[in-house]
């Protein structure tokens, strides 16, 4: 026996208790212990075996940390088959989350009981793999083909009640898993119940698997695992025996296990959890957060207030005038009505959030007692300075003063207060009550407990919080500005916006950069370009003006019905705007550029090389602590395909030398834009990867 599985005899029942905190992952010790436990129970003449988990959960799945390492037996599929084949009655008592390999062990057991709060599912698709220990063969045998396919291809967890209705479990009972499991096993023995193996049940019904495979592949936008799951369930329905189905499941599982998508998704899983763990915050208690203030109730302020209210935080919203305050309230109500419609809050909660814990004011004195204020006024340094000066005067000692600025210098903002240690950037993304990313921008003098409070707020609002240093655009917008420029340059040189959008959506982005520009509003970039030109641009920087002409004609994208695309009311998406190609052609002619053809592959390669190069500069300068911080920023704020793990994980997989070679080739045409990042050159020279840096700094 190993320590990971406790063994105990209660009469005729052998009790196997999993004790591998925090989630009882089915690592080597657990697998060895389970196998030994079942064998010992059989040798000792027990009549039944109860399997349950200590702590917060039954098994939450295979041990993901073992993936990619040389496999060591006993293997999970063999263990499941061995459990199922036991002549004893095997009962599993489920609580917490029985996921992946965990549910597979439960399905290999002969009877299943669960607590009312237990959840179960096969989330392997989210890790780029499929259930590989019989889940695709056994779940459809108990739940039917349709239900199993829906659960396996989506990775959705079901509650105990739904699982009972679907035949996944046999019983629900209140109580500790050990107690309800023992009572059930005893009951089965008393009833003289026989062994009941799911694998021996008839094969599930066949459906039109080919059609479903095609539609699942399309829906996955390039992600392979959901569609591959369809093929595995097909094997359950169409194979001659369980063994043949299991063999096919194994082959498909190994295909996915060896894929780059599995690398990307596992990287995303661990990075999502590592991103908010900063060594310097260990043992630092965040400040108390009982209420917050928000200044400016426009797009962002209203979204931030909505997110805070939804987390139960009272909000004081400050606007310039009574009318603006009313308009802000209208926006917040609109957002909360959306939450109400989707069943996220009840009518009663809606009333509490809008009428009781939201206060509107035009007087700074209303902010004198809040613990944290987030400023979301116009993006103008002079305006922000006035606001922070007033906050400094009215806010209580220890209150945190935060700015939602997208680009401005948080050090400069902090310097206009008498308490720069209390000032921080909290950069939300639009719409702030929906988007998961929060950049916690740490200025030179920001106190550590203020940083800790930024992360605590992010956690409360269910955000993925990333630490960022101060620079123009922080992590995300700075990198975005660069890869957008790479796309703009390709347009001047001969690519069309539509080809670029298509190539990048095929790469896996939710939208291409020009469709995004139409959605955000072309006026934003226009204002930025005017500002940059007024400040004086480096003569080596390539500039283009065809979009300005669109803006001058009043075409700002979706909100005006026309931009790169033409939008018709009631229709989703747009069609290419024919005027754009003429404007681009005219600008090329004016600049004396002979357009050349780009392949889709070249578009993706250049776009990604620009993104990786700037990201490497951001890490090299310490603006992002680790490569994984950049990866999570792009994943949660910029629609980067999760199955590629993030730009720097993509670069590791692609090969850093290859990415650097692309940059150097492009630099032959434009060495100003394509200046290689020193960190990238260093890693290539040393034969190391971005992931090595993640490991060294986590």
104 is catalytic: yes
Sign of CA dihedral 633, 607, 498, 562: positive
- CA-to-CA dists, residue 200 to 149, 219, 251, 380, 590, angstroms: 20, 33, 21, 70, 75
Applying CB under 6 A, among 53, 61, 458, 469 the residue interacting with ligand 3HC is 61
326 is catalytic: no
By a kind-dependent CB cut-off of 5 to 8 A, residue 100 interacts, out of ligand 3HC, ligand NAI, none, with ligand 3HC
By a kind-dependent CB cut-off of 5 to 8 A, residue 65 interacts, out of ligand 3HC, ligand NAI, none, with ligand 3HC
Residue tagged active-site, from 42, 84, 104, 200 = 104
DSSP-derived 3-state class of residue 159: strand
Applying CB under 6 A, among 60, 180, 227, 358 the residue interacting with ligand 3HC is 60
| Site string (18-47) toward ligand NAI, x via CB under 6 A | ------------------------------
Task: State the minimum distance, in angstroms, from the CB of residue 696 to ligand 3HC.
Answer: 17
- State how far Cα 481 lies from the chain centre: 22
Count of residues touching ligand 3HC (by CB under 6 A): 23
Nearest to 158 by CA among 94, 224, 230: 94
Cis peptide before 500 (omega within 30 of 0): no
Nearest to 174 by CA among 186, 165, 184: 184
**Residue 365 or 569: which CB sits closer to ligand NAI?**
365
Residue 301 touching ligand NAI (CB under 6 A): yes
> Cβ distance 377 to 296 under 8 Å?
yes
By a kind-dependent CB cut-off of 5 to 8 A, residue 123 interacts, out of ligand NAI, ligand 3HC, none, with ligand 3HC
| Residue 613 token pair | 């190069």
DSSP-derived 3-state class of residue 489: helix
Q: Footprint of ligand NAI on residues 374-433 (CB under 6 A)?
A: 376-379, 383, 387, 404-406, 428-430
**Residue 53 or 131: which CB sits closer to ligand 3HC?**
131
Other beta carbons within 10 Å of 323: 10
Task: State the minimum distance, in angstroms, from the CB of residue 132 to ligand 3HC.
Answer: 4
> Cβ distance 376 to 347 under 8 Å?
no
537/529 Cα distance (integer angstroms)? 10
Buried b (16+ CB within 10 A) or exposed e, 349-359: bbeebbeeebe
**Residue 101 or 458: which CB sits closer to ligand 3HC?**
101
- The string of DSSP codes covering 442-509 is E-TT--HHHHHHHHHHHHHTT-EEEEEESSTTTTHHHHHHHHHHHHHHHHHHT--HHHHHHHHHHHT-
| Site string (119-138) toward ligand 3HC, x via CB under 6 A | ----xx--x---xxx-x---
646/661 Cα distance (integer angstroms)? 20
By a kind-dependent CB cut-off of 5 to 8 A, residue 308 interacts, out of ligand 3HC, ligand NAI, none, with none
- State how far Cα 210 lies from the chain centre: 30
Task: State the minimum distance, in angstroms, from the CB of residue 24 to ligand 3HC.
Answer: 9
Task: State the minimum distance, in angstroms, from the CB of residue 374 to ligand NAI.
Answer: 9
By a kind-dependent CB cut-off of 5 to 8 A, residue 379 interacts, out of ligand 3HC, ligand NAI, none, with ligand NAI
Cis peptide before 363 (omega within 30 of 0): no
361/254 Cα distance (integer angstroms)? 60
Residue 322 touching ligand NAI (CB under 6 A): no
Applying CB under 6 A, among 72, 320, 593, 661 the residue interacting with ligand NAI is 320
Interface residues toward ligand 3HC, by CB under 6 A: 22-23, 25, 60-65, 76, 97, 99-101, 104, 123-124, 127, 131-133, 135, 273
Interface residues toward ligand NAI, by CB under 6 A: 295-301, 318-320, 324, 376-379, 383, 387, 404-406, 428-430
């Amino acid at each position: 026996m190993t320590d990971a599985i406790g063994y105990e005899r209660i009469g005729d029942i052998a009790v196997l208790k999993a004790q591998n905190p925090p989630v009882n992952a089915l690592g080597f010790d657990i697998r060895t212990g389970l196998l030994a436990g079942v064998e010992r129970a059989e040798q000792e003449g027990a009549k039944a075996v109860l399997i349950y988990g200590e702590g917060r959960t039954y098994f939450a799945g295979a041990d993901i940390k073992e993936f990619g390492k040389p496999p060591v037996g006993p293997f999970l599929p063999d263990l499941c088959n061995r459990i199922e084949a036991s002549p004893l009655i095997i009962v599993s008592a489920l609580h917490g989350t029985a996921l992946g390999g965990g549910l597979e062990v439960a399905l290999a057991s002969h009877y299943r009981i669960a607590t009312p709060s237990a959840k179960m599912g096969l989330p392997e698709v989210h890790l780029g793999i499929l259930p590989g220990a019989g889940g695709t063969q056994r779940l459809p045998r108990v739940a039917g083909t349709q239900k199993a396919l829906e659960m396996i291809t989506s990775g959705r967890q079901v509650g105990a009640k739904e699982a009972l209705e679907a035949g996944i479990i046999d019983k629900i009972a209140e109580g500790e898993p050990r107690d309800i499991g023992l009572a059930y096993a005893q009951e089965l023995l008393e009833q003289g119940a026989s062994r009941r193996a799911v694998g021996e049940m008839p094969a599930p019904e066949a459906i039109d698997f080919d059609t479903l495979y095609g539609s699942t592949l399309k829906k996955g936008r390039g992600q392979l695992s959901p569609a591959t799951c369809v093929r595995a369930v097909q094997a359950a329905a169409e194979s001659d025996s369980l063994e043949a189905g299991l063999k096919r499941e194994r082959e498909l599982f190994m295909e996915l296990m060896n894929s780059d998508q599995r690398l990307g998704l596992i990287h995303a899983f661990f990075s999502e959890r590592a991103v908010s763990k900063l060594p310097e915050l260990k043992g630092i208690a965040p400040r108390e957060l009982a209420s917050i203030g928000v200044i400016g109730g426009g797009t962002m302020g209203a979204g931030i207030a909505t997110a805070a209210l939804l987390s139960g935080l009272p909000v004081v919203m400050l606007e310039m005038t009574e009318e603006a305050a009313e308009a802000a309230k209208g926006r917040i109500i609109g957002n909360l009505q959306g939450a109400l419609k989707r069943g996220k809050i009840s009518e009663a909660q809606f009333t509490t959030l809008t009428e009781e814990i939201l206060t509107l004011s035009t007087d700074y004195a209303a902010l004198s007692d809040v613990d944290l204020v987030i400023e979301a006024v116009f993006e103008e340094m002079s305006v922000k300075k006035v606001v922070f000066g007033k906050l400094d005067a009215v806010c209580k000692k220890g209150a945190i003063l935060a700015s939602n600025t997208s680009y401005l210098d948080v050090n400069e903002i902090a310097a206009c207060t008498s308490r720069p240690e209390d000032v921080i950037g909290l950069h939300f993304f639009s719409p702030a009550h929906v988007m998961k990313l929060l950049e916690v921008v740490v200025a030179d003098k920001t106190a550590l407990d203020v940083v800790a409070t930024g992360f605590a707020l992010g956690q409360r609002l269910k955000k993925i919080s990333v630490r960022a240093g101060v620079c123009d655009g922080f992590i995300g917008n700075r990198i975005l500005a660069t890869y957008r420029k790479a796309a703009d340059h390709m347009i001047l040189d001969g690519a069309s916006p539509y080809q670029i959008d298509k190539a990048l959506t095929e790469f896996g982005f939710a939208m291409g950069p020009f469709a995004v520009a139409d959605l955000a509003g072309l006026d934003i970039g226009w204002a930025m370009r005017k500002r940059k030109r007024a400040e004086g641009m480096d003569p080596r920087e390539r500039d283009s003006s065809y979009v300005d002409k669109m803006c001058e004609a009043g075409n700002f994208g979706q909100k005006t019905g026309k931009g790169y695309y033409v939008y018709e009311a009631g229709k989703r998406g747009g069609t290419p705007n024919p005027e754009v190609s003429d404007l681009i052609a005219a600008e090329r002619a004016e600049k004396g550029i002979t357009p050349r053809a780009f392949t889709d592959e070249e578009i993706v390669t250049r776009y990604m090389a620009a993104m990786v190069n700037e990201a490497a500069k951001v890490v090299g300068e310490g603006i992002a602590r680790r490569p994984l911080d950049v990866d999570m920023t792009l994943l949660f704020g910029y629609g980067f395909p999760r199955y590629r793990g993030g730009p720097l994980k993509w670069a590791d997989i692609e090969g850093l030398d290859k990415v650097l070679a692309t940059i150097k080739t492009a630099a032959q045409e434009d060495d100003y834009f394509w200046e290689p990042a020193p960190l990238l050159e260093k890693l290539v020279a040393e034969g190391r990867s971005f992931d090595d840096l993640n490991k060294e700094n986590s």
